Structure 1
Protein backbone atom coordinates (compact mmCIF):
# COMPACT_ATOMS: atom_id res chain seq x y z
CA UNK A 1 0.00 0.00 0.00
CA UNK A 2 2.76 2.40 0.92
CA UNK A 3 4.52 1.57 -2.33
CA UNK A 4 1.36 2.25 -4.38
CA UNK A 5 0.72 5.52 -2.55
CA UNK A 6 4.30 6.69 -3.25
CA UNK A 7 3.94 5.86 -6.96
CA UNK A 8 0.69 7.80 -7.14
CA UNK A 9 2.29 10.85 -5.53
CA UNK A 10 5.24 10.72 -7.95
CA UNK A 11 2.85 10.44 -10.90
CA UNK A 12 0.88 13.49 -9.75
CA UNK A 13 4.10 15.47 -9.30
CA UNK A 14 5.27 14.61 -12.82
CA UNK A 15 1.92 15.61 -14.32
CA UNK A 16 2.05 18.95 -12.49
CA UNK A 17 5.57 19.56 -13.78
CA UNK A 18 4.56 18.82 -17.41
CA UNK A 19 1.54 21.13 -17.15
CA UNK A 20 3.71 23.94 -15.75
CA UNK A 21 6.24 23.51 -18.59
CA UNK A 22 3.49 23.70 -21.22
CA UNK A 23 2.16 26.84 -19.62
CA UNK A 24 5.62 28.38 -19.91
CA UNK A 25 5.33 28.31 -23.70
CA UNK A 26 2.60 30.94 -23.42
CA UNK A 27 2.72 34.40 -22.00
CA UNK A 28 2.63 33.12 -18.43
CA UNK A 29 -0.43 35.18 -17.51
CA UNK A 30 -4.04 34.75 -18.46
CA UNK A 31 -5.07 37.13 -21.26
CA UNK A 32 -1.49 38.37 -21.94
CA UNK A 33 -0.62 38.83 -25.64
CA UNK A 34 1.32 36.20 -27.54
CA UNK A 35 4.91 37.45 -27.73
CA UNK A 36 5.22 35.96 -31.23
CA UNK A 37 2.37 38.11 -32.58
CA UNK A 38 3.49 41.43 -34.10
CA UNK A 39 2.34 44.54 -32.27
CA UNK A 40 0.10 46.85 -34.33
CA UNK A 41 2.42 49.80 -33.79
CA UNK A 42 5.65 47.82 -33.56
CA UNK A 43 8.70 49.79 -34.74
CA UNK A 44 11.01 48.43 -37.39
CA UNK A 45 13.77 46.04 -36.38
CA UNK A 46 16.32 47.77 -34.18
CA UNK A 47 13.95 50.64 -33.37
CA UNK A 48 14.36 52.39 -36.73
CA UNK A 49 11.91 55.09 -37.80
CA UNK A 50 9.78 53.61 -40.60
CA UNK A 51 8.97 55.70 -43.68
CA UNK A 52 6.92 53.96 -46.37
CA UNK A 53 4.88 54.70 -49.47
CA UNK A 54 5.20 56.61 -52.73
CA UNK A 55 7.60 55.16 -55.30
CA UNK A 56 7.85 58.68 -56.73
CA UNK A 57 9.35 59.77 -53.40
CA UNK A 58 11.37 56.70 -52.44
CA UNK A 59 14.71 57.91 -53.85
CA UNK A 60 14.18 61.31 -52.23
CA UNK A 61 13.26 59.65 -48.93
CA UNK A 62 16.36 57.45 -49.03
CA UNK A 63 18.61 60.43 -49.76
CA UNK A 64 17.07 62.32 -46.85
CA UNK A 65 17.55 59.29 -44.59
CA UNK A 66 21.24 58.88 -45.49
CA UNK A 67 22.01 62.55 -44.87
CA UNK A 68 19.94 62.61 -41.66
CA UNK A 69 21.66 59.54 -40.20
CA UNK A 70 25.09 61.00 -40.94
CA UNK A 71 24.13 64.01 -38.82
CA UNK A 72 22.42 61.85 -36.19
CA UNK A 73 24.32 58.55 -35.87
CA UNK A 74 22.15 57.38 -32.97
CA UNK A 75 18.97 57.60 -35.06
CA UNK A 76 17.98 55.08 -37.74
CA UNK A 77 15.54 55.64 -40.61
CA UNK A 78 14.21 52.85 -42.83
CA UNK A 79 12.65 53.99 -46.14
CA UNK A 80 10.70 51.69 -48.46
CA UNK A 81 8.35 52.22 -51.41
CA UNK A 82 5.33 50.29 -52.59
CA UNK A 83 3.08 53.16 -53.67
CA UNK A 84 1.20 55.96 -51.95
CA UNK A 85 -1.79 53.74 -51.22
CA UNK A 86 0.48 51.18 -49.60
CA UNK A 87 2.07 53.86 -47.42
CA UNK A 88 -1.28 55.25 -46.28
CA UNK A 89 -2.54 51.71 -45.56
CA UNK A 90 0.59 51.13 -43.44
CA UNK A 91 -0.09 54.38 -41.57
CA UNK A 92 -3.61 53.11 -40.89
CA UNK A 93 -2.58 49.65 -39.68
CA UNK A 94 0.28 51.00 -37.57
CA UNK A 95 3.23 49.51 -39.45
CA UNK A 96 4.80 52.82 -40.47
CA UNK A 97 5.28 56.08 -38.60
CA UNK A 98 5.49 58.25 -41.72
CA UNK A 99 3.62 57.61 -44.96
CA UNK A 100 5.02 59.14 -48.15
CA UNK A 101 2.34 60.07 -50.67
CA UNK A 102 2.32 61.77 -54.04
CA UNK A 103 -1.41 62.41 -53.68
CA UNK A 104 -3.57 63.92 -50.99
CA UNK A 105 -5.06 61.47 -48.51
CA UNK A 106 -8.68 60.58 -49.26
CA UNK A 107 -11.39 61.62 -46.78
CA UNK A 108 -12.30 57.96 -46.14
CA UNK A 109 -8.65 57.12 -45.37
CA UNK A 110 -8.36 60.09 -43.01
CA UNK A 111 -11.55 59.02 -41.23
CA UNK A 112 -10.19 55.49 -40.80
CA UNK A 113 -6.99 56.81 -39.23
CA UNK A 114 -9.04 58.94 -36.84
CA UNK A 115 -11.38 56.07 -35.93
CA UNK A 116 -8.63 53.53 -35.36
CA UNK A 117 -5.94 55.64 -33.70
CA UNK A 118 -7.94 58.55 -32.21
CA UNK A 119 -5.59 60.91 -34.02
CA UNK A 120 -5.88 62.94 -37.19
CA UNK A 121 -3.79 62.13 -40.24
CA UNK A 122 -1.50 65.15 -40.29
CA UNK A 123 -0.39 66.33 -43.74
CA UNK A 124 2.97 67.99 -44.38
CA UNK A 125 4.06 69.06 -47.89
CA UNK A 126 7.78 68.30 -48.22
CA UNK A 127 8.52 68.87 -51.94
CA UNK A 128 7.01 70.06 -55.22
CA UNK A 129 6.67 67.95 -58.35
CA UNK A 130 5.05 68.07 -61.74
CA UNK A 131 3.59 64.88 -63.19
CA UNK A 132 5.37 64.56 -66.50
CA UNK A 133 4.54 62.60 -69.64
CA UNK A 134 7.51 60.97 -71.37
CA UNK A 135 8.13 59.94 -74.96
CA UNK A 136 11.10 58.37 -76.73
CA UNK A 137 13.85 60.79 -77.74
CA UNK A 138 13.20 59.98 -81.43
CA UNK A 139 9.52 60.98 -81.21
CA UNK A 140 8.99 64.37 -82.95
CA UNK A 141 6.03 65.29 -80.70
CA UNK A 142 7.08 68.02 -78.28
CA UNK A 143 3.82 68.97 -76.56
CA UNK A 144 0.31 67.63 -76.03
CA UNK A 145 -2.78 69.19 -74.48
CA UNK A 146 -4.53 67.64 -71.50
CA UNK A 147 -7.31 66.71 -73.94
CA UNK A 148 -4.79 64.86 -76.15
CA UNK A 149 -3.36 63.01 -73.16
CA UNK A 150 -6.83 62.11 -71.94
CA UNK A 151 -7.80 60.73 -75.37
CA UNK A 152 -4.60 58.65 -75.54
CA UNK A 153 -5.02 57.18 -72.07
CA UNK A 154 -8.73 56.48 -72.54
CA UNK A 155 -7.90 54.65 -75.78
CA UNK A 156 -9.76 57.09 -78.04
CA UNK A 157 -6.53 58.07 -79.85
CA UNK A 158 -4.38 55.10 -80.82
CA UNK A 159 -2.00 56.45 -83.48
CA UNK A 160 0.65 59.15 -83.15
CA UNK A 161 -0.43 60.74 -86.46
CA UNK A 162 -3.67 61.85 -84.75
CA UNK A 163 -1.68 64.16 -82.47
CA UNK A 164 0.99 65.38 -84.90
CA UNK A 165 3.38 62.44 -84.75
CA UNK A 166 4.39 59.64 -87.11
CA UNK A 167 1.99 57.04 -88.50
CA UNK A 168 2.61 54.50 -85.75
CA UNK A 169 0.52 52.88 -83.00
CA UNK A 170 0.86 54.46 -79.57
CA UNK A 171 2.21 52.12 -76.89
CA UNK A 172 0.71 53.31 -73.61
CA UNK A 173 2.41 52.72 -70.25
CA UNK A 174 0.76 53.32 -66.89
CA UNK A 175 1.34 52.70 -63.17
CA UNK A 176 -0.34 50.25 -60.80
CA UNK A 177 -3.47 51.46 -59.05
CA UNK A 178 -1.76 51.68 -55.63
CA UNK A 179 0.36 54.52 -57.05
CA UNK A 180 -0.45 58.08 -56.04
CA UNK A 181 0.68 59.22 -59.49
CA UNK A 182 -1.83 56.81 -61.07
CA UNK A 183 -4.58 58.33 -58.91
CA UNK A 184 -3.43 61.87 -59.74
CA UNK A 185 -3.51 61.21 -63.51
CA UNK A 186 -6.88 59.46 -63.27
CA UNK A 187 -8.37 62.43 -61.43
CA UNK A 188 -6.63 65.36 -63.14
CA UNK A 189 -6.25 64.05 -66.71
CA UNK A 190 -8.88 61.32 -67.16
CA UNK A 191 -11.49 63.15 -65.03
CA UNK A 192 -12.19 60.00 -63.05
CA UNK A 193 -12.60 57.64 -66.01
CA UNK A 194 -10.72 54.35 -66.26
CA UNK A 195 -7.49 53.87 -68.15
CA UNK A 196 -7.72 52.08 -71.51
CA UNK A 197 -7.53 48.29 -71.03
CA UNK A 198 -4.57 48.11 -73.40
CA UNK A 199 -2.46 50.38 -71.17
CA UNK A 200 0.52 48.40 -69.91
CA UNK A 201 0.83 48.58 -66.12
CA UNK A 202 4.35 48.82 -64.70
CA UNK A 203 5.42 48.62 -61.03
CA UNK A 204 7.26 51.93 -60.67
CA UNK A 205 8.20 55.18 -62.40
CA UNK A 206 11.72 53.91 -63.10
CA UNK A 207 10.20 50.95 -64.95
CA UNK A 208 8.02 53.33 -67.01
CA UNK A 209 11.02 55.46 -67.96
CA UNK A 210 13.03 52.37 -68.90
CA UNK A 211 10.19 51.03 -71.06
CA UNK A 212 9.68 54.33 -72.92
CA UNK A 213 13.44 54.71 -73.49
CA UNK A 214 13.35 51.38 -75.36
CA UNK A 215 10.02 51.75 -77.18
CA UNK A 216 10.12 54.52 -79.81
CA UNK A 217 6.31 54.66 -79.99
CA UNK A 218 5.79 54.63 -76.23
CA UNK A 219 4.33 57.16 -73.82
CA UNK A 220 4.38 57.04 -70.03
CA UNK A 221 4.15 59.29 -67.00
CA UNK A 222 5.76 59.89 -63.63
CA UNK A 223 7.53 62.41 -61.45
CA UNK A 224 9.76 65.09 -62.91
CA UNK A 225 12.84 63.66 -61.17
CA UNK A 226 12.68 60.50 -63.28
CA UNK A 227 12.86 62.22 -66.68
CA UNK A 228 16.23 60.74 -67.70
CA UNK A 229 17.02 59.04 -71.02
CA UNK A 230 13.70 60.14 -72.54
CA UNK A 231 12.08 63.46 -73.43
CA UNK A 232 9.55 65.23 -71.27
CA UNK A 233 6.52 66.64 -73.03
CA UNK A 234 5.31 70.18 -72.49
CA UNK A 235 1.57 70.60 -71.90
CA UNK A 236 -0.37 72.82 -74.28
CA UNK A 237 -2.38 75.46 -72.44
CA UNK A 238 -4.22 77.55 -75.03
CA UNK A 239 -1.56 78.78 -77.43
CA UNK A 240 1.27 78.20 -74.92
CA UNK A 241 3.42 75.11 -74.44
CA UNK A 242 4.20 74.93 -70.72
CA UNK A 243 7.24 72.83 -69.80
CA UNK A 244 7.57 71.06 -66.43
CA UNK A 245 10.31 73.47 -65.33
CA UNK A 246 11.06 74.53 -61.76
CA UNK A 247 9.57 77.99 -62.31
CA UNK A 248 6.37 76.63 -63.87
CA UNK A 249 5.93 73.87 -61.28
CA UNK A 250 6.56 76.05 -58.24
CA UNK A 251 4.25 78.77 -59.54
CA UNK A 252 1.56 76.24 -60.46
CA UNK A 253 1.52 77.41 -64.08
CA UNK A 254 2.34 73.89 -65.19
CA UNK A 255 -1.15 72.32 -65.05
CA UNK A 256 0.01 69.03 -63.51
CA UNK A 257 1.95 70.56 -60.61
CA UNK A 258 1.47 68.91 -57.22
CA UNK A 259 2.87 68.67 -53.71
CA UNK A 260 4.55 65.56 -52.32
CA UNK A 261 3.47 64.74 -48.77
CA UNK A 262 4.43 63.12 -45.50
CA UNK A 263 1.50 61.87 -43.39
CA UNK A 264 1.67 61.02 -39.68
CA UNK A 265 -0.85 59.94 -37.07
CA UNK A 266 -1.21 63.21 -35.21
CA UNK A 267 1.68 65.60 -34.65
CA UNK A 268 5.05 63.88 -35.15
CA UNK A 269 7.40 63.55 -32.20
CA UNK A 270 10.84 62.14 -31.42
CA UNK A 271 12.80 60.80 -34.39
CA UNK A 272 9.84 61.33 -36.75
CA UNK A 273 9.72 65.05 -35.95
CA UNK A 274 13.50 65.40 -36.19
CA UNK A 275 13.50 63.68 -39.58
CA UNK A 276 10.66 65.81 -40.93
CA UNK A 277 12.30 68.99 -39.65
CA UNK A 278 15.47 67.95 -41.49
CA UNK A 279 13.54 67.31 -44.74
CA UNK A 280 12.14 70.86 -44.57
CA UNK A 281 15.44 72.48 -43.60
CA UNK A 282 17.63 74.29 -46.17
CA UNK A 283 19.86 71.20 -46.33
CA UNK A 284 16.89 68.88 -46.80
CA UNK A 285 15.35 71.08 -49.49
CA UNK A 286 18.71 71.18 -51.28
CA UNK A 287 18.47 67.37 -51.50
CA UNK A 288 15.03 67.81 -53.08
CA UNK A 289 16.69 69.81 -55.87
CA UNK A 290 19.59 67.36 -56.22
CA UNK A 291 17.16 64.47 -56.72
CA UNK A 292 15.28 66.41 -59.40
CA UNK A 293 12.21 67.78 -57.62
CA UNK A 294 11.64 71.30 -56.35
CA UNK A 295 11.59 72.91 -52.88
CA UNK A 296 8.26 73.45 -51.17
CA UNK A 297 6.96 76.93 -51.94
CA UNK A 298 8.14 79.28 -49.22
CA UNK A 299 10.90 76.94 -48.03
CA UNK A 300 14.49 78.22 -48.39
CA UNK A 301 16.88 76.44 -50.71
CA UNK A 302 20.48 75.91 -49.63
CA UNK A 303 22.99 77.35 -52.08
Structure 2
Protein backbone atom coordinates (compact mmCIF):
# COMPACT_ATOMS: atom_id res chain seq x y z
CA UNK A 1 0.00 0.00 0.00
CA UNK A 2 1.34 3.44 -0.92
CA UNK A 3 2.02 6.13 1.63
CA UNK A 4 -0.90 8.16 0.24
CA UNK A 5 -3.26 5.18 0.52
CA UNK A 6 -2.20 4.58 4.11
CA UNK A 7 -2.86 8.21 4.97
CA UNK A 8 -6.32 8.09 3.39
CA UNK A 9 -7.14 4.85 5.20
CA UNK A 10 -6.04 6.32 8.53
CA UNK A 11 -8.26 9.32 7.89
CA UNK A 12 -11.25 7.12 7.09
CA UNK A 13 -10.73 5.07 10.25
CA UNK A 14 -10.47 8.20 12.36
CA UNK A 15 -13.69 9.59 10.89
CA UNK A 16 -15.42 6.26 11.55
CA UNK A 17 -14.14 6.25 15.14
CA UNK A 18 -15.32 9.81 15.78
CA UNK A 19 -18.71 9.05 14.24
CA UNK A 20 -19.10 6.00 16.49
CA UNK A 21 -18.10 8.03 19.54
CA UNK A 22 -20.55 10.77 18.66
CA UNK A 23 -23.39 8.29 18.22
CA UNK A 24 -22.76 6.64 21.60
CA UNK A 25 -25.16 7.56 24.40
CA UNK A 26 -23.38 9.62 27.05
CA UNK A 27 -23.65 8.46 30.67
CA UNK A 28 -22.42 10.79 33.42
CA UNK A 29 -21.21 9.49 36.79
CA UNK A 30 -20.07 11.81 39.61
CA UNK A 31 -19.50 11.94 43.34
CA UNK A 32 -17.35 10.32 46.01
CA UNK A 33 -13.58 10.63 45.68
CA UNK A 34 -13.32 7.33 47.56
CA UNK A 35 -15.32 5.51 44.89
CA UNK A 36 -13.79 7.59 42.08
CA UNK A 37 -10.82 5.29 41.24
CA UNK A 38 -13.17 2.30 41.08
CA UNK A 39 -15.76 4.13 39.00
CA UNK A 40 -13.14 5.50 36.63
CA UNK A 41 -11.51 2.13 35.91
CA UNK A 42 -14.90 0.45 35.49
CA UNK A 43 -15.88 3.18 33.03
CA UNK A 44 -12.66 2.71 31.07
CA UNK A 45 -13.18 -1.05 30.83
CA UNK A 46 -16.89 -0.72 30.08
CA UNK A 47 -16.22 1.79 27.31
CA UNK A 48 -13.64 -0.58 25.83
CA UNK A 49 -15.95 -3.59 25.54
CA UNK A 50 -18.92 -1.85 23.89
CA UNK A 51 -19.56 1.26 21.82
CA UNK A 52 -23.23 2.04 22.45
CA UNK A 53 -22.64 3.88 25.75
CA UNK A 54 -19.80 6.21 26.71
CA UNK A 55 -19.34 6.66 30.45
CA UNK A 56 -17.55 9.68 31.91
CA UNK A 57 -16.65 9.91 35.60
CA UNK A 58 -15.88 12.91 37.83
CA UNK A 59 -15.43 13.44 41.58
CA UNK A 60 -16.67 16.22 43.81
CA UNK A 61 -17.77 14.27 46.89
CA UNK A 62 -20.74 12.10 47.81
CA UNK A 63 -23.01 15.05 48.48
CA UNK A 64 -22.21 16.59 45.11
CA UNK A 65 -22.92 13.32 43.30
CA UNK A 66 -26.27 12.83 45.03
CA UNK A 67 -27.24 16.43 44.28
CA UNK A 68 -26.18 15.98 40.67
CA UNK A 69 -28.40 12.94 40.06
CA UNK A 70 -31.35 14.57 41.80
CA UNK A 71 -31.03 17.68 39.64
CA UNK A 72 -30.42 15.78 36.40
CA UNK A 73 -26.79 16.80 36.00
CA UNK A 74 -25.53 13.21 36.35
CA UNK A 75 -27.08 9.84 35.61
CA UNK A 76 -25.37 7.95 38.44
CA UNK A 77 -23.89 9.14 41.74
CA UNK A 78 -21.00 7.55 43.58
CA UNK A 79 -21.21 7.69 47.38
CA UNK A 80 -19.24 6.42 50.34
CA UNK A 81 -22.30 6.76 52.56
CA UNK A 82 -26.03 6.20 52.26
CA UNK A 83 -28.42 8.92 51.12
CA UNK A 84 -29.37 11.18 54.02
CA UNK A 85 -32.94 11.82 55.12
CA UNK A 86 -32.32 15.52 54.50
CA UNK A 87 -31.44 14.75 50.87
CA UNK A 88 -34.56 12.65 50.46
CA UNK A 89 -36.62 15.50 51.88
CA UNK A 90 -34.94 18.04 49.60
CA UNK A 91 -35.76 15.96 46.49
CA UNK A 92 -39.12 14.27 47.17
CA UNK A 93 -40.32 13.84 43.57
CA UNK A 94 -38.53 10.51 43.03
CA UNK A 95 -36.93 7.89 45.25
CA UNK A 96 -33.17 7.51 45.42
CA UNK A 97 -32.16 3.97 44.44
CA UNK A 98 -28.97 2.74 46.12
CA UNK A 99 -26.85 -0.04 44.61
CA UNK A 100 -24.13 -1.65 46.75
CA UNK A 101 -20.93 -1.83 44.66
CA UNK A 102 -18.15 -2.64 47.18
CA UNK A 103 -17.11 -2.56 50.82
CA UNK A 104 -14.52 -0.18 52.23
CA UNK A 105 -13.32 1.19 55.55
CA UNK A 106 -12.42 4.53 57.04
CA UNK A 107 -8.79 4.26 58.11
CA UNK A 108 -6.96 6.41 60.64
CA UNK A 109 -3.49 7.24 59.33
CA UNK A 110 -0.57 9.11 60.88
CA UNK A 111 2.77 10.43 59.69
CA UNK A 112 5.58 7.89 59.63
CA UNK A 113 7.45 9.78 62.36
CA UNK A 114 4.42 9.60 64.63
CA UNK A 115 4.08 5.86 64.07
CA UNK A 116 7.81 5.27 64.63
CA UNK A 117 7.58 7.19 67.91
CA UNK A 118 5.10 4.63 69.22
CA UNK A 119 1.61 5.81 68.29
CA UNK A 120 0.38 2.67 66.53
CA UNK A 121 -3.07 2.13 68.06
CA UNK A 122 -5.71 4.62 69.18
CA UNK A 123 -9.01 4.06 70.94
CA UNK A 124 -12.21 5.76 69.87
CA UNK A 125 -11.89 7.96 72.96
CA UNK A 126 -8.39 9.01 71.87
CA UNK A 127 -9.49 9.94 68.36
CA UNK A 128 -12.51 11.81 69.67
CA UNK A 129 -10.26 13.80 71.99
CA UNK A 130 -7.93 14.73 69.12
CA UNK A 131 -10.73 15.89 66.84
CA UNK A 132 -12.52 17.68 69.69
CA UNK A 133 -9.32 19.57 70.47
CA UNK A 134 -8.95 18.07 73.96
CA UNK A 135 -5.64 16.37 73.09
CA UNK A 136 -3.25 18.54 71.07
CA UNK A 137 0.19 16.98 71.67
CA UNK A 138 1.42 13.54 70.62
CA UNK A 139 3.23 13.21 73.96
CA UNK A 140 -0.16 12.73 75.62
CA UNK A 141 -0.62 9.58 73.54
CA UNK A 142 2.84 8.09 74.04
CA UNK A 143 4.54 9.88 71.16
CA UNK A 144 7.06 12.69 70.85
CA UNK A 145 6.51 16.18 72.19
CA UNK A 146 4.94 17.69 69.06
CA UNK A 147 1.70 19.50 68.37
CA UNK A 148 -0.79 17.28 66.47
CA UNK A 149 -1.57 18.39 62.92
CA UNK A 150 -5.21 17.30 62.58
CA UNK A 151 -6.62 16.76 59.08
CA UNK A 152 -10.31 16.60 58.25
CA UNK A 153 -12.53 16.56 55.18
CA UNK A 154 -14.68 19.35 53.78
CA UNK A 155 -18.45 19.43 54.14
CA UNK A 156 -20.09 17.20 51.52
CA UNK A 157 -17.56 14.40 51.88
CA UNK A 158 -19.09 10.98 52.51
CA UNK A 159 -15.90 9.95 54.29
CA UNK A 160 -16.30 12.92 56.64
CA UNK A 161 -19.93 11.95 57.37
CA UNK A 162 -18.98 8.33 58.00
CA UNK A 163 -16.07 9.29 60.27
CA UNK A 164 -18.21 11.72 62.23
CA UNK A 165 -21.02 9.21 62.64
CA UNK A 166 -18.88 6.19 63.51
CA UNK A 167 -16.15 7.87 65.55
CA UNK A 168 -17.53 11.19 66.81
CA UNK A 169 -21.07 9.95 67.43
CA UNK A 170 -23.04 11.97 64.87
CA UNK A 171 -22.75 12.77 61.17
CA UNK A 172 -23.28 16.44 62.12
CA UNK A 173 -20.62 16.42 64.84
CA UNK A 174 -18.38 19.44 65.20
CA UNK A 175 -14.63 18.79 65.10
CA UNK A 176 -13.00 21.90 66.56
CA UNK A 177 -9.63 20.16 66.84
CA UNK A 178 -9.17 20.03 63.06
CA UNK A 179 -6.26 22.12 61.78
CA UNK A 180 -7.18 22.02 58.07
CA UNK A 181 -9.96 20.47 55.99
CA UNK A 182 -9.26 18.95 52.59
CA UNK A 183 -11.39 18.16 49.55
CA UNK A 184 -10.36 14.58 48.80
CA UNK A 185 -8.72 11.42 50.09
CA UNK A 186 -5.73 12.15 47.85
CA UNK A 187 -5.21 15.53 49.49
CA UNK A 188 -5.35 13.96 52.95
CA UNK A 189 -2.77 11.37 51.87
CA UNK A 190 -0.44 14.02 50.50
CA UNK A 191 -0.73 16.15 53.64
CA UNK A 192 0.06 13.20 55.93
CA UNK A 193 3.06 12.03 53.94
CA UNK A 194 4.50 15.56 53.79
CA UNK A 195 4.22 16.06 57.55
CA UNK A 196 5.94 14.50 60.54
CA UNK A 197 3.09 15.10 63.02
CA UNK A 198 -0.18 14.59 61.16
CA UNK A 199 -3.27 12.45 61.64
CA UNK A 200 -6.12 12.05 59.17
CA UNK A 201 -8.79 9.66 57.96
CA UNK A 202 -9.30 8.24 54.48
CA UNK A 203 -10.46 5.20 52.50
CA UNK A 204 -8.81 1.79 52.68
CA UNK A 205 -7.50 1.79 49.12
CA UNK A 206 -5.49 4.94 49.85
CA UNK A 207 -3.44 3.16 52.54
CA UNK A 208 -2.95 -0.28 51.03
CA UNK A 209 -0.22 0.83 48.61
CA UNK A 210 2.30 1.21 51.46
CA UNK A 211 2.83 4.97 51.24
CA UNK A 212 0.78 5.61 54.38
CA UNK A 213 0.76 4.10 57.85
CA UNK A 214 -2.73 3.09 58.98
CA UNK A 215 -2.84 2.65 62.73
CA UNK A 216 -5.03 0.18 64.59
CA UNK A 217 -8.38 1.45 65.86
CA UNK A 218 -9.60 -0.12 69.09
CA UNK A 219 -6.86 -2.73 68.72
CA UNK A 220 -7.73 -3.84 65.17
CA UNK A 221 -5.83 -2.82 62.04
CA UNK A 222 -7.81 -2.18 58.83
CA UNK A 223 -7.42 -4.82 56.14
CA UNK A 224 -9.49 -6.75 53.64
CA UNK A 225 -9.61 -9.62 56.13
CA UNK A 226 -10.74 -7.56 59.13
CA UNK A 227 -13.41 -5.87 57.04
CA UNK A 228 -14.71 -9.21 55.81
CA UNK A 229 -14.81 -10.77 59.26
CA UNK A 230 -16.35 -7.68 60.85
CA UNK A 231 -13.63 -7.13 63.44
CA UNK A 232 -12.67 -3.69 62.10
CA UNK A 233 -15.46 -1.43 63.29
CA UNK A 234 -15.08 1.39 60.75
CA UNK A 235 -16.14 -0.67 57.71
CA UNK A 236 -18.70 0.91 55.36
CA UNK A 237 -20.71 0.35 52.20
CA UNK A 238 -19.77 1.98 48.91
CA UNK A 239 -22.76 2.63 46.70
CA UNK A 240 -23.89 4.05 43.41
CA UNK A 241 -27.17 5.92 43.29
CA UNK A 242 -29.81 6.79 40.72
CA UNK A 243 -32.71 9.17 41.17
CA UNK A 244 -35.72 7.11 40.29
CA UNK A 245 -35.47 4.03 38.12
CA UNK A 246 -32.16 3.67 36.32
CA UNK A 247 -32.12 4.27 32.59
CA UNK A 248 -31.24 1.26 30.42
CA UNK A 249 -27.77 2.76 29.91
CA UNK A 250 -27.22 3.29 33.62
CA UNK A 251 -28.52 -0.21 34.35
CA UNK A 252 -26.04 -1.70 31.88
CA UNK A 253 -23.13 0.10 33.52
CA UNK A 254 -24.26 -0.81 37.04
CA UNK A 255 -24.57 -4.47 36.03
CA UNK A 256 -20.98 -4.31 34.80
CA UNK A 257 -19.80 -2.69 38.05
CA UNK A 258 -21.52 -5.27 40.27
CA UNK A 259 -20.71 -8.22 37.99
CA UNK A 260 -17.61 -10.37 37.95
CA UNK A 261 -15.50 -7.98 35.86
CA UNK A 262 -16.32 -4.97 38.00
CA UNK A 263 -15.73 -6.83 41.26
CA UNK A 264 -12.31 -7.99 40.07
CA UNK A 265 -11.49 -4.31 39.50
CA UNK A 266 -12.74 -3.50 43.01
CA UNK A 267 -10.40 -6.04 44.58
CA UNK A 268 -7.45 -4.96 42.43
CA UNK A 269 -7.94 -1.40 43.70
CA UNK A 270 -8.01 -2.44 47.36
CA UNK A 271 -11.75 -2.55 47.99
CA UNK A 272 -13.66 -5.57 49.25
CA UNK A 273 -15.89 -7.32 46.72
CA UNK A 274 -19.61 -7.64 47.39
CA UNK A 275 -19.27 -11.22 46.15
Give the secondary-structure state (helix, strand or coil) at the position aligned to 2:251. Answer: helix
Residue 197 of structure 1: how far off its partner (Å): 5.3
User: Per-residue displacement from partner, 1:36-59 (whole Å, max 9, x unpaired)?
Assistant: xxxxxxxxx974101110011111
Give the secondary-structure state (helix, strand or coil) at the position aligned to 1:56. Answer: coil
- The within-5 A match list for 1:196-235 is 196=176, 198-227=178-207, 228=209, 229-235=211-217
Q: Name which structure has the greater RCO, CA cutoff 8 Å, separation 6+.
A: 2
Give the secondary-structure state (helix, strand or coil) at the position aligned to 1:271. Answer: helix
Find the aligned partners of 2:195 and 2:272 in 1 and give their Cα distance.
29
Instruction: Give the aligned partner of residue 99 of structure 2.
Output: 124
Instruction: Give the aligned partner of residue 7 of structure 1.
Output: none
Residue 61 of structure 1: how far off its partner (Å): 0.6
Find the aligned partners of 1:251 and 1:88 in 2 and give their Cα distance.
30
**Please, what TM-score do these two structures have when normalized by structure 2?**
0.86
Instruction: Give the aligned partner of residue 47 of structure 2.
Output: 69
**Please, what TM-score do these two structures have when normalized by structure 1?**
0.78
Instruction: Give the aligned partner of residue 20 of structure 1.
Output: none
Give the secondary-structure state (helix, strand or coil) at the position aligned to 1:219. Answer: strand
Give the secondary-structure state (helix, strand or coil) at the position aligned to 2:35. Answer: helix
Find the aligned partners of 1:137 and 1:143 in 2 and give their Cα distance.
13
Would the aligned equivalents of 2:76 and 2:242 in 1 still touch at CA under 8 Å?
yes
Instruction: Give the aligned partner of residue 136 of structure 1.
Output: 111
Find the aligned partners of 1:108 and 1:217 in 2 and give their Cα distance.
36
- The within-5 A match list for 1:1-303 is 47-115=25-93, 119-139=94-114, 140-192=118-170, 193-196=173-176, 198-227=178-207, 228=209, 229-236=211-218, 241-296=219-274, 299=275
Structure 1, unaligned runs of 5 or more: 1-44
Find the aligned partners of 2:97 and 2:82 in 1 and give their Cα distance.
11
Would the aligned equivalents of 1:132 and 1:221 in 2 still touch at CA under 8 Å?
yes
Find the aligned partners of 1:199 and 1:263 in 2 and give their Cα distance.
32
Give the secondary-structure state (helix, strand or coil) at the position aligned to 1:55. Answer: coil
Give the secondary-structure state (helix, strand or coil) at the position aligned to 1:177. Answer: coil
Find the aligned partners of 2:24 and 2:174 in 1 and give their Cα distance.
42
Would the aligned equivalents of 2:131 and 2:178 in 1 still touch at CA under 8 Å?
no
User: Per-residue displacement from partner, 1:188-208 (whole Å, max 9, x unpaired)?
Assistant: 111133012542111111011
Find the aligned partners of 2:72 and 2:192 in 1 and give their Cα distance.
37
Whichever of the two has the greater Rg, that structure is 1
Between 264-273 and 203-212, the greater mean CA deviation after superposition: 264-273
**Closer, same or farther: CA 141–52 of 1 in aligned 2, 3 Å:** same
User: Per-residue displacement from partner, 1:211-265 (whole Å, max 9, x unpaired)?
Assistant: 10010100111100011412001111xxxx2111112112322110000011112
